[in-house]
Amino acid sequence: MITETVETRTREDCARAVARAVEVLANGGVVALPTETVYGLAADATNADAVAGIFEAKHRPLFDPLIVHIADAGMAHLVAEFPSGYEALLKRFWPGPLTVVVPRRPAIPDIVTAGLPTVAVRMPAHPIFREVLECLGKPLAAPSANRFGRISPTTAGHVREELDGRIPLIVAAGPAEHGVESTIVEMERGRLRVLRNGPVSPEQLAGFGEVLEMDEADFPSAPGQLKSHYAPATPLRLGPDNPTPGKRCGLLRFGGGTHLPAGFDRVETLSVDLREAATELFAAMRRLDAAGLDEIVAEPVAEEGIGHAIMDRLRKAAARE
Ligand code: TXA
Ligand code: MG
């Protein structure tokens, strides 16, 4: 299969890209689309065959459920029920990088939720993704546009590295604004359980209910929260930031200049501003992974704000099982 990439630099480009995407999606195909978090691989969430195409292209196991993206309240109520308690949270964070896990409605086929009675729902903020949703008039199931178990793509180039020849269309729209996947939460009796840390931090959620830490033992129902995810092929370990003797080592750090510290073959220096660092995190991991190293050492960051999401991704990249 030839993978076509369409740009969205001008107004005309955008209109053409959206029309092409809608055409492919309406015919049950899959399309890689930009979102404000990472690039997603989208298909009509109400069409089980179309959604099967996502699993096939990504080599994603069928037990890992997808997030359904909606444009407005009408679409939201088509896909799920929203128990009372969600209003204030959604009013504050939608459209944006927050996903909620709520009871699903019959319009959503089993393949989307891996048979779970709940569905993960998000209203994205990216203008291109929103326009596709509105023109298609259907909710879109969309996981990150990477092969299963690999680093999420934050540029159209990353999507091509992952899925070239496996999907018909990539809509390119510059690097993703946040750079890490959406925060996933589930409400239980007025309390918020964070299933995945993301751009919406636990501190930001605190105003909307007591925030419960994610407890893996509690989540046989979130199979996608597998320990090893976002993994580069090169072994990665979390600090201390000294190289392993005899190994070609790369360093991923936050601040500290661009000079190469003794014993390292390669360094990627991200911003000390963690919001900014998050936007470059996956791209830096990809560059280190492509550098022919034996090992990547990642410096830990403070677990506050988006630091929770960054540490979560680094731990998952370090997990080998
Ligand atoms: O930012 C994002 O969320 C991106 C963009 C494309 O929107 N999407 C994304 O999707 O990260 P994905 O498939 O890579 O991650 C979805 C996560 C998985 O870990 C999955 O297990 C979890 O959402 N999930 C989906 N449905 C769920 C459910 N009903 N209950 C619990 N977890 C669920
Ligand atoms: Mg993913």
pLDDT tens for each residue of 136-188: 999 999 999 999 989 999 999 999 999 999 999 999 999 999 999 999 999 99
The whole-number average pLDDT for the span 238-260 is 89
Give the Å distance between the CA of 263 and the centre of ligand 2.
33
pLDDT for residue 224 is more than 60: no
How high is the mean pLDDT of the chain? 94
66 CB within 6 A, ligand 1: yes
Residues paired with residue 80 on neighbouring β-strands, in sequence order: 104
224 CB within 6 A, ligand 1: yes
Q: Cβ contacts of residue 289 below 8 Å, gap of 6+?
A: 151, 232, 233, 234, 296
Lowest mean pLDDT among 145-154, 180-189, 204-213, 229-238: 229-238
The whole-number average pLDDT for the span 56-83 is 97
120 CB within 6 A, ligand 1: yes
This prediction's pTM: 0.95
Residue 223: pLDDT band by 50, 70, 90 thresholds?
Answer: very low
The whole-number average pLDDT for the span 56-81 is 97
40 CB within 6 A, ligand 1: yes
Residue 235: pLDDT band by 50, 70, 90 thresholds?
Answer: very high
Closest CA to 196 of 313, 52, 108: 313
The distance in angstroms from the start CA to the end CA of the chain is 32
Q: Cβ contacts of residue 2 below 8 Å, gap of 6+?
A: 165, 168
32 CB within 6 A, ligand 1: no
- The pairs formed by 211-220 with CB atoms below 8 angstroms and a separation of 24 or more are 212/188, 218/193, 219/195
Give the Å distance between the CA of 87 and the centre of ligand 1.
21
**Mutation pick for ligand 1 pocket among 79, 99, 215 (CB with most ligand atoms within 8 Å):** 99
The whole-number average pLDDT for the span 69-75 is 98
Amino acid 225: pLDDT: 58
Q: How many CB atoms lie within 10 A of CB 56?
A: 12
Q: The tokens 């086929």 sit on which residue? A: 109
Q: Cβ contacts of residue 305 below 8 Å, gap of 6+?
A: 201, 203, 274, 275
Q: Cβ contacts of residue 15 below 8 Å, gap of 6+?
A: none
Classify residue 80 by its DSSP letter: B
Atom of ligand 1 nearest to the CA of 181: 1
19 CB within 6 A, ligand 1: no
Residue 220: pLDDT band by 50, 70, 90 thresholds?
Answer: very low
The DSSP line for 271-282 is: -SSHHHHHHHHH
Q: Report how far residue 183's alpha carbon sits from residue 186's, in angstroms, rounded to the nearest whole number.
A: 10
Ligand 1 atom 6, closest CA? 40
- How do beta strands 191-196 and 67-69 pair? unpaired
Give the Å distance between the CA of 258 and the centre of ligand 2.
30
pLDDT for residue 230 is more than 90: no
pLDDT for residue 50 is more than 60: yes
CB 172 within 8 A of CB 6: yes
Closest CA to 185 of 175, 193, 176: 193
Q: Report how far residue 46's alpha carbon sits from residue 88's, in angstroms, rounded to the nearest whole number.
A: 27
Atom of ligand 1 nearest to the CA of 42: 6
What is the residue type of 281?
Answer: L
Q: Report how far residue 183's alpha carbon sits from residue 198's, in angstroms, rounded to the nearest whole number.
A: 4
The whole-number average pLDDT for the span 50-61 is 97
Atom of ligand 1 nearest to the CA of 118: 29
Q: Which two tokens stand for residue 110?
A: 């089993």
Amino acid 239: pLDDT: 87
Amino acid 256: pLDDT: 86
Q: Report how far residue 44's alpha carbon sits from residue 279's, in angstroms, rounded to the nearest whole number.
A: 28
Tell me the pLDDT tens digit for each residue of 285-301: 999 999 999 999 999 99
pLDDT for residue 215 is more than 80: no
Give the Å distances, CA to CA, from 122 to 52, 95, 125. 20, 8, 9
**Mutation pick for ligand 1 pocket among 31, 162, 181 (CB with most ligand atoms within 8 Å):** 181
